[in-house]
Amino acid sequence: MNKVILMGRLTRDPELTYTQNNTAICKFSLAVNREFSKEKEADFINITTWSKTAEFVNKWFKKGRQVAVCGRIQTRTYDDQSGQKRYVTDVVADSVYFADSAKKEDNDSLPL
């Protein structure tokens, strides 16, 4: 079973792009605190969302927002420009949720 559940803060605004088939892809990064660390430490995890979830994330989430993500780990390889094989691990999120309350000015525009 490949299931991931994370909660953290966006380290940057989401980036929305579209495939040639007009499918939305949104990428962002989460800072996830290490719970049992003596010092404040965090892991920075790349997240990818697709289709309606991608459009939702791009519309409602901004840098600093705390979110919860449910999805799966996906690995891939590619050859860079110098011919070196590169390995990438991402979380592909099926669902993304608000995990904090919005600032007052954001509350009026949030979906119910």
Q: Tell me: the pLDDT tens digits for 27-85?
A: 999 999 988 767 889 999 999 999 999 999 999 999 999 999 999 999 999 999 999 99
Distance CA 44, CA 98 (A): 18
pLDDT of the residue at 112 = 47
Residue 107's SS3 state is helix
Closest CA to 32 of 1, 66, 71: 66
Residue 82's SS3 state is coil
Would you list the domain boundaries of the chain? 4-107
pLDDT of the residue at 101 = 76
Q: Is the CATH number 2.40.50.140 carried by domain 4-107?
A: yes
